[in-house]
Amino acid sequence: MGDLLLCEELLLLGLDDESGKPSWTFDASMLNAALMLDLVTTGCVRFDEDKVYVTEHFPRHPLMAAAQDVIADDKKVRSISHWHTMLPYTLKDLQKRAAERLVADGVLVQEESKVLGLFRSTRFPESDPGPERALRARLHSILVENAEPDDHDTALITLLASGYGIDHVFSGDDKDARKAAKRRAKELSTAAKEDPVFQARHDAAVIAAVTMVATTTVITTTGNGS
């Protein structure tokens, strides 16, 4: 399979491998934020100040194409915070749509059932653990062994650090590794916002987008009382 989107990676990290249900530590608002950053990094939209503008790049990924169409069809130019909140509702079932390629490639299995014979429930247990293992190994090398992150990993780590994602990813590690990972994640997310030297080594548009979306995620989560 090709490189994973941020929202696909977050979904892999957030789902319980056996039950296929989101972990209690999984923050759905991070999936919303990841979708916004995926739109930027794939060239589907650009941010100007706090507004979102559609570009002339037309993506092949179905989720990116659908999200771009929703933004393009709106008669008004909306803010990042607006689309961060409303885009998942407009697209409907973001988690399921983010899982589609992972299911098609055999990484996850989609299982449908009904609760009490009335309410439909969808689970995504893991079938191929390889992609998630590779992802976790990459995060370990950056956050524990101090490898240098690229733009994509900087975005992913900043999103994880904006909620409880680092605790979740490293829940199976020892105390020292968890502590080192949280410290390094905080350093990287702060550097993305404030360090000119760090910013100069990365794509300016991506780093600016990461900062704006991560800030929106924190505000939204706090506002929801999560």
> β-strands 51-54, 119-123: how paired?
unpaired
In angstroms and rounded to an integer, the radius of gyration of the C-alpha atoms of the chain is: 17
Q: Please state the length of the chain.
A: 226
Give the whole-angstrom CA distance, residue 115 versus residue 63. Answer: 28
What architecture is the 6-223 domain classified under in CATH?
Orthogonal Bundle (1.10)
Bridge partners, 114 (sequence order): 120
The answer to whether 125 and 111 have CB atoms below 8 angstroms apart is yes
Distances (CA, A) of 112 to 10, 33, 79, 184: 21, 26, 35, 39
For 59-92, the pLDDT digits (tens) are: 889 999 999 999 999 999 999 889 988 888 888 8
Which amino acid makes up residue 105? D
For residues 199-216, one letter each, b for 16 or more C-beta atoms within 10 angstroms of the residue's C-beta and e for the rest, the string is beebbeebbbbbbbbbbb
Average pLDDT over the chain, rounded to whole? Answer: 86
- What's the angle, vertex CA 199, arms to CA 204 and CA 68, rounded to 5? 30
Neighbours of 120 (CB within 10 A): 8
pLDDT of residue 139: 96
In tens, the pLDDT along 100-147 reads 999 999 999 999 887 776 778 899 999 999 999 999 999 999 999 999
Give the predicted TM-score (pTM) of the model. 0.86
Residue 205 has which token pair? 């548009």
